[in-house]
A and B are shown apart, each in its own frame.
Chain A
Amino acid sequence: MSAIGATDAAARPDVPRRSDTLTDRILATWGALVYVFLYAPIVIVVLYAFNESRDVQVWDHLGLSYWSQTWRDPTIRSALVLSLWTAAANAVIATILGTAAALGLRNVGRRTRLGFDAFMYTALIVPEIVIAIASLLFFTTVGLPLGPIAIVLTHAVFNTSVVALICRTRLAGMDRTLEEAGADLGAARGERFRRVTLPLLSPAVLAGGLLAFTFSFDDVVLSTFVSAPGSTTLPLRVFSELRFGLSPKANVVATSMLGVTLTAILVAQHLLRRAERRAASTGVAGG
């Protein structure tokens, strides 16, 4: 199982164990409590976005008035537009670079691969604040303007790694005999890529692109450092509003962001799982 890659499919038959009913019961309760812990806060935010109360944190009754108020605010609307297009642009860059790299990496030597891995994992594991600061120093010193373009370019670094990782996982699990069959049947490289490799890989590409979109759409830290006055994304808007305390508008924006993110994530997960199932079935059919 992996956090960014697809769901693990390695089935392991459950070995009958000496069952200790009390321990089992405690563990099961613990498991349930962890899920409550993970989801209750999110549910509360959504619930409170529909709260009709002057006090944000005090529950009154259900209603939609803050929704229309929030989305009539022109600054919030422009923040949404900015967030959407920067996230989309970042996703396009990350998807192209990440997919191409994943394909190219199948044919490189160990040293080259390790060299690439160093970059890929650095982008994933270095604390975001460090990358944010580095990017700020880079843009200001080189003389590139801060703002939307800088946001797109810095977001795409982490997300290129995300797409590359997902595509590599997929390629590693892919049945190469299909591609080889294509080659044996005389398909030219371009055609083979278009008709065999790409269809097999495309769910991973799409899922990677969607994740790249959501990670950018949700980002605060990188954007805080490379945005300019006037380029306020939706998360930046929520973040700055929170410094002055909770507000009903922030609840509504947060819930809307959750909606966008959850939709993208669930679609991505669905694509990856379906691809995995198909791979499993072609594997059987192909012998």
Chain B
Amino acid sequence: MRDGHAVAEPRALIVPAWGYYGAFLLVPLGFIVVYAFARTTGFFEVTFGLSGANFQRLWDPIYLKVYRATFSMALAGTLGCLAIGYPFAYWLGSRSHRRKTLLLLLIVVPFWTSILIRTYAWALLLAGDGPLSSLLQRLHLIGSELALLNTSKAVWIGLVYDYLPLMLFPLYVSIERMDRSLVEAARDLGLGKWRTFSRVTLPLTLPGVLTGGLLTFVPMTGEYVVPSILGGGKSALFGPIVGSQFLNAIDYPFGAAMALSLVAVLLVMIVVYVRVLGRRAEANLGAAL
């Protein structure tokens, strides 16, 4: 009676969710693979097979440019989040416990609200005759109207804003868990402030940096809403381009090949991440999600 199993619910309870994932996650993802090797042979006509033509097309300079633009944008966005997030997480880590709960809640709330609304907010804010522009003009910081909307800078701002909380959590967790006495010791032994940071603090919190980087970089590469709203349709980033293969060009096989190639790149990144962090990877991801 007292062994743990007596209390637990039947294992069969996981079957419905398992089946659901199988039907609506695994099988659909399988369809991406199947379509990626198929060929478009006419309007709305697809011939299945083992064609590599779609993947060859990905090497076209036009699409290579899309990948380059996407990955550099995601990298810039991730670095932006890190630059804002690290000092912030460091500060938050040293607050008193009572305050922390509220301060953390205040980060969760925007993260849980719609990415559409948060992105929309920047479209309003950055508009040429919008509030930020008129404020900056009144302060004589800019001479003419703000011309940021529909540029890649606006996309970058939107990405940093939307994904900042995803960077903050893992950073905060690793800074919070860090043994601060090691930092003390380094300072007591006469190490300067910056060297303490680069030799002690940063290596100790590296798992948080890597986890935050992964959690922001991955969704940024596939981001659809932000470039669509803030990039003004002109932005040649992966999300809108692959989306248009399905919504406008109706070239399902090529779109599927694009999606598959992105998943492949991200998978490599995740494998590297898990290899680098080893057992700590699961703990870090779990804590952050």
Complex CA–CA separation, A129 to B255 (angstroms)? 11
Smallest Cβ-Cβ distance to A9: which chain B residue: B101
Cβ A156 vs Cβ B124 within 8 A = no
Cβ A218 vs Cβ B114 within 8 A = yes
Cβ A134 vs Cβ B29 within 8 A = yes
A85 at the interface (CB under 8 A from B): no
Cβ A11 vs Cβ B97 within 8 A = yes
- Chain B residues with Cβ below 8 Å from A42 are 110, 113, 117-118, 121
Smallest Cβ-Cβ distance to B85: which chain A residue: A34
Q: In the complex where A97-B17, A107-B9, A261-B112 touch, is A137 in contact with B32 (Cβ < 8 A)?
A: yes
Cβ A131 vs Cβ B169 within 8 A = no
B268 at the interface (CB under 8 A from A): no
- Chain B residues with Cβ below 8 Å from A123 are 21, 25
Complex CA–CA separation, A246 to B105 (angstroms)? 31
Cβ B129 vs Cβ A57 within 8 A = yes
The interface residues of chain B, by DSSP majority, are classed as: helix
A67 at the interface (CB under 8 A from B): no
Cβ B6 vs Cβ A7 within 8 A = no
* A:223-272 near B, CB below 8 Å: 224-225, 235, 238-239, 242-243, 246, 250-251, 254, 257-258, 261-262, 265-266, 269
- Chain A residues with Cβ below 8 Å from B114 are 217-218, 220, 235, 257-258, 261
A285 at the interface (CB under 8 A from B): no
- Chain A residues with Cβ below 8 Å from B266 are 126-127
A86 at the interface (CB under 8 A from B): no
B233 at the interface (CB under 8 A from A): yes
Q: How far is the CB of B279 from chain A (nearest CB, A)?
A: 13
Q: In the complex where A34-B84, A101-B14, A183-B7 touch, is A160 in contact with B113 (Cβ < 8 A)?
A: no
Q: In the complex where A2-B288, A131-B28, A160-B21 touch, is A14 in contact with B112 (Cβ < 8 A)?
A: no
Q: How far is the CB of B30 from chain A (nearest CB, A)?
A: 8
- Chain A residues with Cβ below 8 Å from B121 are 41-42, 44-45, 254
Complex CA–CA separation, A104 to B266 (angstroms)? 31
- Chain A residues with Cβ below 8 Å from B101 are 7, 273
Smallest Cβ-Cβ distance to B183: which chain A residue: A17
Cβ B84 vs Cβ A257 within 8 A = no
- Chain A residues with Cβ below 8 Å from B141 are none
Q: How far is the CB of B165 from chain A (nearest CB, A)?
A: 7
Range of interface residues on A (Cβ < 8 Å): 35 or more
- Chain B residues with Cβ below 8 Å from A221 are 224-225
Cβ A97 vs Cβ B20 within 8 A = yes
- Chain B residues with Cβ below 8 Å from A68 are none
B155 at the interface (CB under 8 A from A): no
Q: Residue-by-residue, is B1-34 near A (CB-CB < 8 Å gives 1, otherwise 0)?
A: 1101111111111111110111011111101100
* A:2-36 near B, CB below 8 Å: 2-5, 7-8, 11-12, 14-15, 17-18, 20, 23, 27-28, 30-31, 34-35
- Chain B residues with Cβ below 8 Å from A192 are 7
Q: Residue-by-residue, is B193-229 near A (CB-CB < 8 Å gives 1, otherwise 0)?
A: 1000000000000000000000000110111110011
Complex CA–CA separation, A85 to B105 (angstroms)? 28
- Chain A residues with Cβ below 8 Å from B84 are 34, 37
Which listed residue (B120, B193, B246) contacts A242, Cβ 8 A? B120
* B:32-58 near A, CB below 8 Å: 32, 35
- Chain B residues with Cβ below 8 Å from A165 are 289
B63 at the interface (CB under 8 A from A): no
Closest 6 CB pairs of A and B: A127-B222, A104-B13, A218-B114, A41-B121, A107-B8, A134-B28
6 example contacts (A-B, Cβ-Cβ < 8 A) are as follows A2-B287, A3-B288, A133-B243, A180-B7, A220-B114, A242-B120
**Chain A interface residues (CB < 8 Å from chain B):** 1-5, 7-8, 11-12, 14-15, 17-18, 20, 23, 27-28, 30-31, 34-35, 37-39, 41-42, 44-45, 48, 55-59, 93, 96-98, 100-101, 103-108, 112, 116, 119-138, 141, 153-154, 156-157, 160, 164-165, 176, 179-180, 182-184, 189, 192-193, 197, 211, 214, 217-218, 220-221, 224-225, 235, 238-239, 242-243, 246, 250-251, 254, 257-258, 261-262, 265-266, 269, 273
